[in-house]
Structure formats: structure tokens, C-alpha cells
Structure 1
């Protein structure tokens, strides 16, 4: 959902952005302009009729005071009133059409986002740490976990079907330890911990950009018009939906631990074993509300906050700047953190840190009142800090031992 004034003043900018994102149906831009022109024409005609009705109403008043016949002019005004009502109904239809078109649009891309049309075009910015070296055959996290009897995928499938799992003993404790560790560290860096519902309404999913376009990709309870959250970004961002914040309160930085639920509808056949791609997982989320001129700096700070967790755990990772096609529709600019997985022999995404600018705040009407009294849309920034199951998998693979077990990062010992 974009600024319609910006679209009207520079439609070629929107077309260029859609091309960079790989959209083929550029006629949507012309359709938006067409609907806006139609709306303006209807509004102009309706205003003209209202002016005529007001003028004639005054004449009727004068004629009445003089005792003159007003039946003919009254009948003509009845016809004008019907025309105005008809135009108002047409205007409402065009407004709905315009909203539906606008709601289907992705966010404008930041100028620093590289143009690209596959994950191969994402730009690696830097790496931190070194890949671990082993003098024995490397195993995957699920092989190690199953041998230690701390991961049980068969029982997970028995309970919930494909892409489910259960933890026993040390794994369950490590999941809890990682949660507390991450929340404590982020709390020290200025994020206020919040507990939020993990079931949200459709308005919440609309604000963050999941609905209406991607409605089939999430778990939804049709009977109640409620949804299982795909990430705590949804309830955290919606904390201030339809609110006007004070300028002095910004930036607002919040964090929460929740379960996250994903249908993984487009992932058939990918990562079918292990903890990488599952229907339910735990995650610590970071969200910021800030002034527009501060969102770039706050985005970089959040990236550093997510990286800090990986550094404290001693995990090797790299940072990518996503290309135009790989950047999500709601995001203006996204950094991905990818941790090295020696057992899987590849890097694995463990956090996405995104600047949405005013895309979400426009949908959710999240504003702040400036010192001059003007209501301004905030910018929202969010990121994973981190995905806990994937972090656990990375610890198991990177710190595996010849004996078949794995070392636990020292910083987690006090949480066990």
C-alpha cells in the first residue's frame, strides 16, 4: 500500500520498481491512474451538482417567503439529489477498486538495493569468523540429535504430520536457554520485552503485509477470523496500530519470544529433514518504530544487534544484502544473516533484518505527532534476533565432537 500522490506524480518510478522486482503486469500502474482519473471526474460532477442544489435551495427559500409556487423547482431538485446519490455510489465502488489495486502493490525499494532476479544476485557484504575444521566425518544436526536421543522427528510426525519434531532432555533445555539468553542480551541493548498473543485478527495480518495477497500461505481459523502468527513481527508491529505516538517516545524498541507458524506451502521437497524448515518454531523478534530520517541508522543498529547473538555464540556467518527480486514485498531493504552449517555444507538463513519505511505504518495508520503538530507516519524496522531452532541446529553442527556429542557455548551455561 503506497502513497497515491507519489504514484500520481511519478508513475514511471512505480513501473521501474515493479520491473526490478520481476513483476510482469505493469498495466496495474495505468489502471491505478485510470481509476484515480475516474474518481476525480465523479467527484467534480458530484460537487457541481451539490453547488447547484445549494444555490436552488436558497431560491426555494426566497420563493416560499414570497408565497410563490415551488413544485416544479422542487421536482427538479429531487432529480439532482438522485443523481448525487448515484454518483456517490459510483465513487464508493471506484474507491474500493483503488484500494484493492494499491493493496496489491509491493513496497518501493531503497536506492541501495541491487537489481537482481534470483538469490544468486544477492550481494555478500562480509563474513565474520572462520568455518570450523574437523578431523572426523561431519554429521548433520538431525543425525547427531537423533543419535543422542534429544531430537525425535518420528514422534513429531506422529503428533502433527510432516515437518514436525519433538525435543527431549538437553535439546528442550537448550531451546529454553537460547530464548532467555537472546531476550536478556536484547534487553541490555534497549529493547523492552513484551508478551503478545500468538493468535491475531485479520487487521493485524493486513498491517504487516501478509493479507490480503498472501492469505493462503498462513494458518487461519476461518470460523473465528483469526490467524496463527507467522512471526512476532505481526503482533509487535500492531501494538500501535491506529495510534498517534509522541515524537519524544521514538524510537520505540520492543522484543518478544513466540512460537511461529508457517505452512511452507512453496517448499515442497526442500529441507524435509531436521529443524531448518518446519511448521512451528520458536523465535525472538525485534521491532522498532522510529522517525523517517532515523530508520536507516536504526536498521543498521538492529543488524548489529542480531549479529551480536551469533558473535557471542561463536558461530561463523555472513551478511547478505538482498537483491530486488529477493526482497519481500513489504520490505524496502533487507539484510540476511546466514550461519554456516558444516553438516549441511551450506550457509543457512538465521535472521532477516528489514526496513519497511512507511509501508506497514500506512496500512496500520501508525503515526507520531511532530513538534509542529503534524501527524507523520513512522518507519518500522524488524528482524529476527534469532530463530531459535535454527540456532540450536547451528550449535549442534558447528560444535560437534568426534565422540558424537557437541559442546555448548560457554555463555549459555548459566541458563542451563
Structure 2
């Protein structure tokens, strides 16, 4: 959540952020009113408790003649205190509800507008040309025996799939490449739980406006995560971190689950928009003044990874109206998909400033030893299913084979081409064969 002091002292700035997002700026006034009501309720409860304490002392000192009246006064104050404390609890709840309703304040440099107003910052790599009819990744995957959408739907329903043979090996290879590069960059690898309690889901901003995207296990009051950002943020909730000289960085692997509510009819074919996929996610905790620089570092690591995969891409600065609740700024990397003749999102990197950590009560100690709220950032290093789709399309050959980028070959036994009907043992590292 945003800093309440910021709302009190600079309400116009927060309203301007709401307008830039296309959100309701009157929510700022609702929050200010709830804050004032809560502070008044606290003051009244404190005053009454002080009066009650004085009345209790008066009972001890009262003469026999005065005692009945003093006792009656003490009883009346006790009832008023109970009433005032109940009113305070109600204003606490109202304040929290109003506070949670306002998304993060956007960065000054974020472009205004909505989904179509993202600004392209740079384009990297040449868009490939083909002297044969281009296949989409589903057709290529079926030729290779790598993707089975039909049986995925039979077993689990629409937008599910099997990765088989070389498709499964590609998943493992991408995961190994992503984790190994993250570890080399100083990230701590984490296998993160895919089920979390409500607190980290709400704290990271994935309930409320995004609740329709989330799968919930009602019986156990647990949520299936859409990204390991959620458990990685919740990992340190209610803690005071020792940040040391550098940000604390994690590379989390988890399965991810998304209902894709509201996407009926969009990307129904293939691995672009599915209900389940695996992902390697970078997550950073740092001092707030370091978050902008850390954001650029996450983006650079994502670019280096895609360059290693030899795919053309562009970096876009997401417009305010298309930002998630928690993000103050977000960069997407969109890779080229030949079958669609366009760039599609493959990774993203978000600076959430102190928004998530304030909700989750994650702090660090400054130079004076005083607890301060940390900043959190997240960046997708590899969303595996969609990356496989991109690799199959970009690196396709006329005969149905697929070029294997050099960086992936060590994890695929040195194989340079995936070919229809290939012997799988040829694509396994020698130590594992």
C-alpha cells in the first residue's frame, strides 16, 4: 500500500497518479476521510480510557457517601470505553479497506494512457525472414512430438497441454539455463511453493482488482500463485532484513496458475495464454533509493537471457493505465513471433517501490539502526511455455526441424537441431545418459 503520510501531505500527487492510471481519484478523498475518522476514534478512545483510569482512582479515595456516585460514573465510563474501542475497530477496518483500494503511485516517467500507449525504448536483433511457409509453434511442436494440446484438453480442459519428448527436454534446458545464469549473477536459487495463504497474495496486490485471475482452494483457504513473486515476497513478511551492501536477490522457480478471466477468444491456440506454466522469476529487496537502478539491472539480465536464446525483441515502457496494482513502473520485453508477424510479451520487470513491503511489513535498518520499509522488485527471467513457443517459431526450418541456440546446447547434449523423429538420447547430456 502507499505511504499514508504521502496521501496526507501530497494528496494532489496521489490524485494525479490515479488520473494517469485512469483510476478513480475520488478514492483519495475516501482514504483521507477514513484516516481522519480513525484518528478521531483513536483520540476519543484514548481520552475515555484516561477518564476511566482517573475514575478508578477516584473510587479508591471516595468517602462512603461519595462512593455510589463515583462507582456509577466509573461504570458509565467503562461502557463508553467499550463502545469507543468498538468504534475504533470499525474505523480501523474502514481505513484498511480504503487504503487497499488505491494502487501504487506511478513513477514520473511512466507514459500516460492504456494498453496501446506503451513506448518502445529499443529494438534488438533482426526480424528473421523465411523462404518457406511459416508454421506456428503448435504445428512445429506436433511435428517434433514436443507439444500435445489435444490430450492436454482431454485431461484438464482448454488452455492446458502436455510437453512431451523434446518439448519436455526444452523445459528442463531453459530452467537450467535460467537458474545457472541467475546464480552466476548473484541470485539465491529458490524452489517456491505454488500454494500460499491470503496474506502474501493480498500483500503483493493479486487480490482485489485481480482476484478473478486467481485460483483459490476454498477448503484450505489457500491460493494457487500466478507467479513465484508472491511466495518470494511473503518469504520475509513481518521481518527486518539485513540488506548489507547489496540488494537481497532470489531466483524462484515455481509452477504458475492463471484463470485468464476475461480473455475468452484470445490466444486460444497453443502456449501463449494458458492456465498453467512454469517460470523462473527474479525478486529483489533493496533500499528505496536503489530501486530505480535495480530495476534497470533486472531488465538487463532479462535482455542478456533473450540474447542468449538468439531471438529478436523490443523493450517497452508500459503505460500507466496498463500497470498492475503494485507496480510504480514496468518494462516488458516482447519477442518476435513469426506466425503472428508481431512482437508478443515474453518477460517483464516491475519496480513496486515500498508498496508490497508496506503491506507485508518487511523492513530493514538504516544507518542509524532505525527500521525503514524496503523496496521490492520482480522480473521474469523465463516464462517457460511461452519461451518454448517463441523458440520453436523463430528458429524453425523448412523441413520442420528447429535450430537450438548455442546457449541451450549444453543442457541438450550438444544437439544443434531438434528434428522430427529424433532419438531423444541424443538430446540428453552425456552424464545423464
Q: Shorter chain as normaliser: what TM range?
A: over 0.9
Secondary structure of the residue aligned to 1:248 is: coil
2:229 and 2:378 in contact (8 A); partners too = yes
Q: Is 2:4 aligned against 1:8?
A: no
- CA distance in 1: counterparts of 2:181 and 2:40, whole angstroms: 57
- Which segments of 5 or more consecutive residues in structure 2 lack a partner in the other structure? 413-433
Residues 190-229 of structure 1 show CA distances to partners (whole Å, capped at 9, x for unaligned) of: 1111112111111121121112443232111000011111
Q: Give me the TM-score of the superposition, normalised by structure 2.
A: 0.92
- 1:21 is aligned to 21
**Greater Cα offset, 28-37 or 105-114:** 28-37
Secondary structure of the residue aligned to 2:364 is: strand
Of the candidates 311, 330, 352, which is equivalent to residue 334 of structure 1?
A: 330
2:62 and 2:70 in contact (8 A); partners too = no
- CA distance in 1: counterparts of 2:243 and 2:232, whole angstroms: 19
Q: Give me the TM-score of the superposition, normalised by structure 1.
A: 0.96
Secondary structure of the residue aligned to 2:235 is: helix
2:55 and 2:73 in contact (8 A); partners too = no
Secondary structure of the residue aligned to 1:318 is: strand
- CA distance in 1: counterparts of 2:34 and 2:384, whole angstroms: 46
Residues 262-304 of structure 1 show CA distances to partners (whole Å, capped at 9, x for unaligned) of: 1001211000001100011111100000011111111100100
Q: Is 2:392 aligned against 1:396?
A: yes
- Which segments of 5 or more consecutive residues in structure 1 lack a partner in the other structure? none
CA displacement at 1:56 relative to structure 2:
3.6
CA displacement at 1:68 relative to structure 2:
5.2
Of the candidates 78, 81, 90, which is equivalent to residue 84 of structure 1?
A: 81
2:146 and 2:165 in contact (8 A); partners too = yes
- 1:45 is aligned to 44
1:247 and 1:371 in contact (8 A); partners too = no
- CA distance in 2: counterparts of 1:280 and 1:75, whole angstroms: 65
Secondary structure of the residue aligned to 1:223 is: helix
CA displacement at 1:94 relative to structure 2:
0.9
Q: Is 2:362 aligned against 1:366?
A: yes
Of the candidates 213, 216, 222, which is equivalent to residue 220 of structure 1?
A: 216
- 2:418 is aligned to none
Computed over aligned residues only, the root mean square deviation of the Cα atoms, in angstroms, reads: 1.5
- CA distance in 1: counterparts of 2:58 and 2:271, whole angstroms: 78
- 2:115 is aligned to 119
- 2:162 is aligned to 166
CA displacement at 1:164 relative to structure 2:
1.1
Secondary structure of the residue aligned to 1:130 is: coil
- 2:430 is aligned to none
CA displacement at 1:60 relative to structure 2:
3.3
Of the candidates 261, 267, 278, which is equivalent to residue 265 of structure 1?
A: 261
1:246 and 1:370 in contact (8 A); partners too = no
Of the candidates 304, 318, 324, which is equivalent to residue 322 of structure 1?
A: 318
- CA distance in 1: counterparts of 2:146 and 2:43, whole angstroms: 70
CA displacement at 1:235 relative to structure 2:
0.9
Of the candidates 230, 234, 237, which is equivalent to residue 238 of structure 1?
A: 234
Residues 129-174 of structure 1 show CA distances to partners (whole Å, capped at 9, x for unaligned) of: 1101111111111111123332111111101110111122111111
Residues 41-67 of structure 1 show CA distances to partners (whole Å, capped at 9, x for unaligned) of: 333333333333333444333335xx6
- Structure 1 residues 346-361: aligned runs within 5 Å: 346-361=342-357
Of the candidates 99, 106, 109, which is equivalent to residue 109 of structure 1?
A: 106
- 2:92 is aligned to 95
